[in-house]
Amino acid sequence: MGHRPRKRFGQNFLVDRTIARRIVDAVNPQPADHIVEIGPGEGAITALFLERISHLAAVEIDRDLAAELRSRFNPAQLTLCEGDALQFDFASLSTQLHGPLRVVGNLPYNISTPLLFHLAEFAAHCVDLHFMLQQEVVARMVATPSSPEYGRLSVMLQVRYAMERLFGVPPESFRPVPKVQSAVVRLRPLTLAERTALGVPRDAAVFASVVNAAFSMRRKTLRNALASMIDAPAMERLGVDPGLRPENLSVKDYAVIADAVAGCG
């Protein structure tokens, strides 16, 4: 294809066939899987998936690319959903396909974080997710407490997923060549047993508010960052040191605080 990349869609097309095949190998699609590709673009990964499975669904916002993909692939092979992945209802697609989804995609850097949060709402409808993202974003996703990269994104995703950085991708693998390094990451929704062991918060909205409040003032101590939600003696009773900074707390610590703020106990 000779499609001109559009900046408003954050398009950087994967042109390295070796990397494309490596991504497909990492997903290891099986005949019964319901694979959903976000932003198939020029079809580099799409074509390789369809060498191994009979059907693939894809979400594409660019009408011109959608038209090219329709002309290239048989409708029996490719179910193409035109629209914005940030607004897309993945639960409905899971219902339509009669099974949980395996989501894959080369996500636009300019919307990667909001898209990850949107997709997290559908974690229960997914088997796993494999994404190519800016390397710095992947580092934040998989970061451990007290590390420089650990922050809001780390906590909000780790409460739902087990995540693993798989491999890096150099800039020259794309057209146009981005100014950043990329990496591929695997996200697997936590099982019920894993969520129970983690101490998943009972009120997701309160949990999000606590995490947002903490990391909006990450240079302050928890005593100050969360003063409007919980006082220092209450944190001490929960076994949390109010003198720590937000990046020092585990996901479980945040869940404990959130449950206390929500009045769950």
The predicted pLDDT at position 127 comes to 97
pLDDT digits (tens, 9 = 90+) for 23-41: 999 999 999 999 999 999 8
Out of 3.40.50.920, 3.30.43.10, 1.10.8.100, 3.30.230.70, the CATH code matching 197-262 is 1.10.8.100
Residue 12 Cα to chain centre, angstroms: 18
39: left (phi over 0), alpha (psi -120 to 50) or beta: left
pLDDT digits (tens, 9 = 90+) for 74-108: 999 999 999 999 999 999 999 999 999 999 999 88
Residues of the chain with CATH 3.40.50.150: 7-190
Confirm or reject CATH 3.40.50.150 for domain 7-190, answering yes or no: yes
CA 42, 44, 45, 48 torsion-angle sign: positive
Residues of the chain with CATH 1.10.8.100: 197-262
Cα(62)–Cα(6) distance, integer angstroms: 9
Distances, alpha carbon 258 to alpha carbons 94, 121, 199, 238, 262, in Å: 31, 18, 11, 11, 6
Which residues lie closer than 8 Å to 161 by C-beta, 6 or more apart? 120, 123, 129, 187, 188, 189, 190
The predicted pLDDT at position 38 comes to 95
Strand locations in 32-100 (E): 34-38, 56-60, 78-82
pTM, full prediction? 0.92
